[in-house]
Chains A and B, each alone.
Chain A
Amino acid sequence: MHFTINGTLYQVEVDNRVSLLDLLREHLALTGSKKGCDHGQCGACTILINGRRINSCLSLAVMHQDDDITTIEGLGSPEDLHPLQAAFVSHDGYQCGYCTPGQICSAVGMLDELKKGWPSHVSPSLRDVDLNDDEISERMSGNICRCSAYPNIVDAIRDVAAAQA
């Protein structure tokens, strides 16, 4: 099979049962994406496919050979952090860090959804959407943090959203 991940083309031989998450972690040594539940319930495996956030544990690799896949490794590097990575560091948006790659990929996708004007469950009106802390929490509810770093995660995302606006 062939994949385009973080702009690099990979050719690998894998079973058609392999999830995108296992492809990344077990076959390509891209271990930034984490496995929390393997059933779509925690968000630790969140990556971006064609710019949209999805759960890589509930995706078959074989179905995504022609997509543009971005993982936490593709967002920034230790020398050149993505603004969300930098904000998570400066706000202490984690304790153990296990959920963090998923949180950051999810936040990238979420801010893009917001730019497109997508409403959420807590939006009072479906027409105009503002970003506030309730909106951030609702839109990020697919990412569970076992350490409960939520307040600092919200702070980090709020900062980056404000800088982008």
Chain B
Amino acid sequence: MKSFVYEKATSPQDAVRFVGNGAKFIAGGTNLLDLMKLQIETPETLVDISRLNLDRIEDTDAGGLLIGALVPNSDLAADARVRERYEVLSRALLAGASGQLRNKATTGGNLLQRTRCYYFYDTAMACNKRVPGSGCSAIGGYTRILAVLGTSAACIATHPGDMPVAMRALDATIVTLKADGDRRRISIHDFYRLPGDTPHIETGLEPGELITHVELPPPPPGRQLYRKVRDRASYAFALVSVAGVVSVENGIIASACLAFGGLGPMPWRDTSVEALLLGHAPSDALFAQAADALLASAKGQGANDFKIPLTKRTLIASLRELTA
């Protein structure tokens, strides 16, 4: 690990003071320290935000929830309001990592966790995300866990998170504090960036911008589900996952929110897939049509080709359960 200057922030305003000199925030540390040990991340200053007063979950006037950026994944999954009204979010959190990791991992850190691409982790290999302009070893390499949607000629990595997939289905808003003291509200739909030719830029956050909260609107109507498919039954990242909230009225699909993990460089959402379902009676033929629309531009790289039919089957199974 490279040496760094350690600063313990006493308030959000204090934390954003440190922008500039290669500073990074550290919350739970479960992703950042992993990467610092491998010298993939080499911050000059580490700003400890773990004791900031951002660890509460509050009701909003709009009937939603305001989740502090430091709320641990365990506590968010176990919150009575989340269990009762945002089951998809509890389920996504509980499907991620392990009990120990969820106790430390935070809401803000989870959103910003970095890819699990094997070559990103292997500092002996070229990787545009780690070293801009160095090339992408994954293209033409071993691609089992890599993306099939939203890729570019520079990077085919996925965002590995589960919680952010549920948050995308729930239309979350990310609330931040900028270095200049301004606050911003960013829809999760605008938060992540496609890789294009700058895969090292993953979000629209400015240097030193602190996530303070995630706001959830009231939950959409209907049943909720998070289905995760992975190589072992627990403690593994998603190959494919579906977060869904679907309502059926009088035998007709009245609303649908669907987001996907494991497929692209960000938690994936395609509202044209949802539009296709609306106003129709649930049927396997309809679900297959929705899956085909989702995957129309999907591109496998060989070892990850299986993700395309797997996604189709997972979406059909999820929609069956959501509309049963």
- CB distance A54 to B48 under 8 Å? no
Residues of B within 8 A of A141 (CB): 98-99, 233-235
B104–A54 contact, CB under 8 A?
A: yes
The one of B34, B48, B87, B233 that contacts A40, using a Cβ cutoff of 8 Å: B34
A142:B99 contact, CB within 8 angstroms: yes
Q: Give CA–CA (A137, B99) in the complex, Å.
A: 11
Q: Which residue of B lies closest to A64 (CB)?
A: B50
A142 B98 Cβ-Cβ under 8 A: yes
A19 neighbours in B (Cβ, 8 Å)? 33
Q: Are B99's CB and A119's CB within 8 A?
A: no
Q: How far is the CB of B172 from chain A (nearest CB, A)?
A: 19
Say yes or no: A40-B101 contact (C-beta < 8 A), given A17-B4, A121-B94: yes
Whether A109 pairs with B103 at a CB distance below 8 angstroms is yes
A11 within 8 A of B: no
Chain A residues lying within 8 Å of B101, measured Cβ to Cβ, are 40, 55, 58, 142
Q: Could you tell me which residues of chain B, from 211 to 257, have a CB within 8 Å of some CB in chain A? A: 233-235
Q: How far is the CB of A94 from chain B (nearest CB, A)?
A: 19
Known pairs A54-B104, A109-B99; A63 contacts B29 (CB<8 A)? yes
Q: Is the CB of B29 within 8 A of A118?
A: no
**In the complex, chain B residues whose CB is within 8 Å of the CB of A121:** 91, 94-95, 234
Number of A-B residue pairs with CB-CB distance less than 8 Å in the complex they form: 99
Chain A residues within an 8 Å CB radius of B77: 118-119
Q: Which B1-50 residues have C-beta < 8 A from chain A?
A: 1, 3-4, 6, 26, 28-30, 33-34, 37, 46, 48, 50
Identify which of residues 35-77 in chain A touch chain B, using a CB-to-CB cut-off of 8 Å: 38-40, 43, 46, 52-55, 58-60, 62-63
Determine whether B97 belongs to the interface, using a CB cutoff of 8 Å to chain A. Answer: yes
Count how many chain A residues have C-beta atoms less than 8 Å from C-beta atoms of the other chain: 38
CB under 8 Å from chain A, chain B span 89-138? 90-91, 94-95, 97-101, 103-104
Q: Which residues of B contact A46 (CB under 8 A)?
A: 100
Beta-carbon contact of A60 and B74 below 8 Å: no
- Do A59 and B83 touch across chains, with their CB atoms under 8 A apart? no
B78 at the interface (CB under 8 A from A): yes
Complex contact A60–B103 (CB within 8 A): no
**Given A16-B6, A126-B90, A142 contacting B97 (CB threshold 8 A):** yes
Distance to closest chain A CB from B74 (angstroms) = 7
Distance of A116 from chain B, by nearest CB (Å):
7
Please indicate the chain A residues that have their CB under 8 angstroms from the CB of B233 in the complex.
Answer: 138, 141
Contact partner of A127 (CB less than 8 A), chosen from B28, B34, B83, B95, is: B83
**Separation in Å of the B295 CB from the closest CB of chain A?**
26
24 contacts between A and B (CB under 8 A): A38-B37, A40-B100, A40-B101, A43-B100, A53-B103, A54-B100, A55-B100, A58-B30, A59-B29, A60-B6, A60-B26, A60-B29, A60-B33, A63-B29, A63-B48, A113-B74, A113-B99, A118-B78, A119-B78, A120-B94, A121-B91, A121-B95, A126-B87, A141-B233
Using a CB–CB cutoff of 8 Å, the interface residues on chain A facing chain B are 15-17, 19, 38-40, 43, 46, 52-55, 58-60, 62-63, 106, 109-110, 113, 116-121, 123, 126-127, 137-143
| B binding-site residues for A, Cβ under 8 Å | 1, 3-4, 6, 26, 28-30, 33-34, 37, 46, 48, 50, 74, 77-78, 83-84, 87, 90-91, 94-95, 97-101, 103-104, 233-235
